[in-house]
C-alpha cells in the first residue's frame, strides 16, 4: 500500500511544534510535498490552544523549547480529552536512552533523533497515521458495536416484554378458545337434542334443562306468548333449587313494565340485573337475567329467561350460545309444527284414500254382478238367434262388440277388486313347485298366435339350468301374461318380443323385452302407478284401464320379489326378480297359513 496515494493521508492534518523556525520550514516542506496539511507553531502554549481549536491527526513535537518543553506539552495534551488520543512523535537532538524512555512514558508514539532524514520522517509519519486511523476506525467500530449492543439489549428487553405480552395473550386466547370449543360442543349437543325431537313440548323442556346444566344457571324458564304479546305464560322451567316462586314473580314484574312489549319486539337478547327481596326471610337476592326471544319469520314463538348469580354475569360467549340455541329452537319448533301439520294432512289423506278404496270396492261389487248378467244375456240372445236361423251379419257384429265391451268392463271391475284385496293383504296364495321351462312355454302359448297375427316375432330364450321354482302359479301367470300382453300391445309390426329367464345369485331373473319402442325418462317413475297410461306411446294411442302394471307390481311384492323397467335405444325391458332361497319359501308359506 502506498500511503501517500491514500486519500485519507492526503487529508491528514499535522501540527509541527519547534522553537527553531528553520526546522519548522524544513519539516513543513517535506510533509507538504506529500500532500499533508501542516500547521506550525514555535510555542508550546500556542500549540496546546491550537490543538484544542482544531485537533490535528498527528503532532511532531520538539523537546527543548522555552517556557514549556516538549515533555510538558505532551503531558498537557494527553491530559485533555480532545487531544488525548492524538499520536505524538518527538523530534529532538537528545539521543540518550533515558530521554527516549521518558518520551514514551509521557505518551509519545515515536521518537526521531535530529538531525533527521526525510525518508525516516515520512516513514514514521506514515506509520503513526496508519495506526491513528486504524485506532480511530476501531474506536468508531467499538462505539457502533457498543451502540448496537445497547440497541440489541433494548430490543431483547422489548422482545422479552412482547413475548410476555404474547404469552399472556396466548394463554388468554387459549382459554377463550377452550371455552369457545366447550360452548360449541355444548351447543351441538343441545342442538342435536332439540332438533332430533319433533315434539314441541320436548323441545322446550330440552332447551331449558340443557341451559341450566351447561351454563350452571340457578334456573331457566320458557314462556310462550301470543302474537300481540298481551298474554305471556310460563310453560316450562328447570331450576337448581326448591324455591319456585321468586323466578316466576320476577318474570311477572318484568312483564308489567310499560315498555316491555316493545322491547320484546325489537331486541333479540336483553341482559339486566334484578334485586329480589324475599318478604318471608327478608333475604335480598341479586341475579343477572338474560332474556332471549325466539323468533319465527318476525313472529315471537316464545322467550327464554336465564337466571344466575349477579357475580357471574353472562359473558359474550354465553350470550352468543343462547342466541344460537334460540335460533335452533326456532328451527326445531317450526319443523315440529310442520311435522304435526304434515301428520294431520297424511292422516286426512289416508282417511280420504280409505274412503276412495271403500267406495271403489263397493262400486266394483255392485257392478260385477250386473255386467256378468249382461254377458250371460248376450250369450243367450246369440244362441236364440242361432236357433231361429236368423244370421244377420250386423246383429252378430253388434253382439260381439257388446260382449267384448262387457268383458272389458268385467275385467276392470275384477282388477279393482284384486287391487283392493292386495292392498288389504287378503289375497290367498297357493304354493306349487313348477318346472320353469315347461311352464313359461305353456303360459304364453296364446300370445305366440297373437304375435304372428300382428306380424311380431315372439322369442323364448331360457337358460338350460333353470331351477325348480316354488311359488303361487296363479299370481306368477298373471304377472307374465300381463307383461307379454303389454309387449304385444305396444310392439310395432316387424319388431321382436323376447322372453328370457336365468338364475343369478339365488334369484330368478325373468325378463320381457320388446323392440321398436321407448318410454320417455319422465314416465318411467310412474309406470306402475294405478290408472296411469303412457300417452301416445309409439304407434298405439293411450288406452286400457291403467291397472295392469299396478296389479303386476302388487303381485310381485306379494311373491317377495321385485320388478323394474328400463328404456334403452328402441327397446323396453321389464325385469322380474324372484328369490329362490329356502327361507323365502317358508315366509311365504307362513303368510299363506296366516
Length of the chain: 594
Cβ neighbors of 316 (< 8 A, separation 6 or more) are none
Q: What single DSSP character describes residue 492?
A: P
Report the C-alpha gap between 254 and 463 in whole angstroms.
84
Q: Helix (H, G, I), strand (E, B), or coil: what is residue 218?
A: coil
DSSP 272-303: EEEEEE-TTT--EEEEEEEEEEEEETTEEEEE
Tell me phi and psi for residue 213, to 5 degrees.
-70, -45
Burial class (CB in 10 A: 0-12, 13-18, 19+), 56: buried
Is residue 217 a contact partner of residue 308, using CB atoms and an 8 Å limit?
yes
Show the cell assigned to 536: 301416445
Interior angle at CA 574, CA 570 and CA 577, nearest 5: 150
User: Which of 241, 190, 193, 178 is closest to 214 using CA atoms?
Assistant: 190
Give the dihedral sign, CA 190/191/193/198.
positive
Reported as half-sphere exposure (CB side, CA atoms, 13 A), residue 486 has a value of 28
Is residue 587 a contact partner of residue 452, using CB atoms and an 8 Å limit?
no
Residue 107: the pLDDT is 87
User: Which of 477, 390, 475, 369 is closest to 428 using CA atoms?
Assistant: 475
Residue 3: the pLDDT is 45
Residue 584: the pLDDT is 42
User: Which of 221, 558, 231, 587 is closest to 422 using CA atoms?
Assistant: 558
Q: Helix (H, G, I), strand (E, B), or coil: what is residue 484?
A: helix
Reported as half-sphere exposure (CB side, CA atoms, 13 A), residue 233 has a value of 3
Report the C-alpha gap between 74 and 64 in whole angstroms.
12
Q: What is the mean pLDDT of each run of 10 residues along the chain (594 residues)?
A: 50 86 87 87 88 89 87 90 88 85 87 85 86 84 89 88 87 81 75 73 80 80 67 71 63 63 61 63 70 75 80 78 80 81 83 64 58 68 65 67 65 61 63 86 85 88 86 85 86 90 88 88 79 62 64 83 88 90 45 41
Angle between helices 70-79 and 44-53 (to 10 degrees): 30
Whether this prediction's pTM lies above 0.85 is answered by: no
Interior angle at CA 464, CA 512 and CA 497, nearest 5: 20
Is residue 305 a contact partner of residue 289, using CB atoms and an 8 Å limit?
yes
CB atoms within 10 A of CB 514: 27
Report the C-alpha gap between 544 and 533 in whole angstroms.
8
User: Which of 421, 423, 410 is closest to 367 using CA atoms?
Assistant: 410
**Cis bond upstream, residue 389 (ω within 30):** no
Residue 403: the pLDDT is 64
- Cα→Cα distances 459→139, 281, 448, 451, 511, Å: 113, 99, 9, 10, 12
Residue 575: the pLDDT is 92
Residue 592: the pLDDT is 37
Is residue 503 a contact partner of residue 463, using CB atoms and an 8 Å limit?
yes
Residue 372: the pLDDT is 67
Show the cell assigned to 578: 324372484
Tell me phi and psi for residue 295, to 5 degrees.
-105, 150
Distance between start and end Cα atoms, the chain? 122
Report the C-alpha gap between 255 and 232 in whole angstroms.
8
Amino acid at each position: 500500500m502506498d500511503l501517500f496515494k491514500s486519500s485519507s493521508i492526503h487529508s491528514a492534518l499535522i501540527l509541527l511544534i519547534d522553537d527553531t523556525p528553520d526546522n519548522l520550514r524544513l519539516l513543513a516542506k517535506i510533509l507538504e510535498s506529500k500532500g499533508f496539511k501542516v500547521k506550525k507553531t514555535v510555542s508550546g502554549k500556542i500549540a496546546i490552544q491550537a490543538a484544542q481549536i482544531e485537533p490535528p491527526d498527528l503532532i511532531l513535537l520538539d523537546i527543548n523549547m522555552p517556557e514549556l518543553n516538549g515533555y510538558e506539552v505532551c503531558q498537557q495534551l494527553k491530559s485533555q480529552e480532545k487531544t488525548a488520543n492524538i499520536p505524538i512523535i518527538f523530534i529532538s537532538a537528545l539521543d540518550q536512552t533515558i530521554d527516549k524512555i521518558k518520551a514514551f512514558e509521557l505518551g509519545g508514539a515515536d521518537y526521531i533523533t535530529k538531525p533527521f532524514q526525510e525518508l525516516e520522517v515520512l516513514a514514521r509519519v506514515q506509520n503513526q497515521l496508519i495506526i491513528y486511523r486504524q485506532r480511530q476506525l476501531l474506536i468508531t467500530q467499538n462505539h457502533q458495536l457498543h451502540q448496537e449492543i445497547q440497541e440489541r439489549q433494548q430490543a431483547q428487553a422489548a422482545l422479552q416484554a412482547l413475548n410476555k405480552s404474547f404469552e399472556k395473550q396466548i394463554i388468554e386466547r387459549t382459554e377463550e378458545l377452550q371455552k369457545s370449543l366447550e360452548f360449541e360442543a355444548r351447543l351441538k349437543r343441545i342442538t342435536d337434542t332439540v332438533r332430533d325431537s319433533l315434539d314441541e313440548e320436548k323441545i322446550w323442556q330440552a332447551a331449558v334443562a340443557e341451559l341450566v346444566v351447561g351454563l350452571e344457571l340457578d334456573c331457566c324458564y320458557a314462556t310462550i306468548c301470543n302474537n300481540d304479546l298481551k298474554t305471556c305464560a310460563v310453560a316450562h322451567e328447570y331450576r337448581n333449587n326448591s324455591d319456585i316462586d321468586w323466578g316466576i314473580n320476577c318474570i311477572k314484574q318484568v312483564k308489567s313494565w310499560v315498555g316491555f312489549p316493545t322491547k320484546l319486539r325489537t331486541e333479540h337478547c336483553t341482559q339486566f340485573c334484578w334485586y329480589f327481596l324475599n318478604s318471608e326471610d327478608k333475604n335480598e337476592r341479586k341475579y343477572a337475567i338474560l332474556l332471549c326471544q325466539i323468533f319465527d319469520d318476525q313472529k315471537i314463538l316464545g322467550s327464554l329467561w336465564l337466571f344466575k348469580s349477579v357475580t357471574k354475569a353472562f359473558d359474550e360467549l354465553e350470550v352468543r350460545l343462547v342466541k344460537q340455541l334460540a335460533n335452533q329452537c326456532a328451527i326445531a319448533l317450526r319443523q315440529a309444527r310442520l311435522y304435526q301439520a304434515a301428520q294431520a294432512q297424511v292422516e286426512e289423506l289416508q282417511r280420504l284414500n280409505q274412503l276412495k278404496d271403500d267406495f271403489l270396492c263397493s262400486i266394483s261389487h255392485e257392478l260385477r254382478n250386473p255386467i256378468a248378467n249382461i254377458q250371460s244375456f248376450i250369450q243367450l240372445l246369440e244362441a236364440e238367434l242361432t236357433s231361429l236361423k236368423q244370421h244377420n251379419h250386423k246383429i252378430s257384429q253388434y253382439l260381439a262388440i257388446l260382449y267384448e265391451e262387457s268383458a272389458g268392463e268385467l275385467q276392470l271391475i275384477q282388477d279393482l277388486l284384486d287391487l283392493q284385496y292386495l292392498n288389504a293383504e287378503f289375497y290367498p296364495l297357493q304354493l306349487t313347485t313348477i318346472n320353469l321351462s315347461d311352464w313359461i312355454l305353456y303360459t304364453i302359448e296364446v300370445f305366440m298366435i297373437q304375435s304372428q297375427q300382428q306380424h311380431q316375432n315372439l322369442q323364448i330364450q331360457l337358460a338350460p339350468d333353470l331351477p325348480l321354482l316354488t311359488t303361487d302359479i296363479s299370481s306368477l301367470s298373471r304377472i307374465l301374461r300381463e307383461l307379454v300382453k303389454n309387449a304385444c300391445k305396444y310392439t310395432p309390426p316387424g319388431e321382436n318380443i323376447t322372453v328370457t329367464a336365468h338364475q343369478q345369485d339365488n334369484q330368478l331373473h325373468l325378463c320381457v323385452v320388446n323392440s321398436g319402442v321407448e318410454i320417455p325418462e319422465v314416465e318411467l317413475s310412474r309406470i306402475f302407478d294405478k290408472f296411469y297410461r303412457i300417452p301416445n306411446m309409439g304407434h298405439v294411442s293411450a288406452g286400457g284401464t291403467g291397472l295392469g302394471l299396478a296389479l303386476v307390481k302388487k303381485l310381485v311384492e306379494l311373491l317377495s320379489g321385485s320388478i323394474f323397467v328400463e328404456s334403452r335405444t328402441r327397446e323396453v325391458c321389464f325385469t322380474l326378480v324372484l328369490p329362490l332361497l329356502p327361507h323365502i319359501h317358508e315366509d311365504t308359506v307362513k303368510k299363506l297359513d296366516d
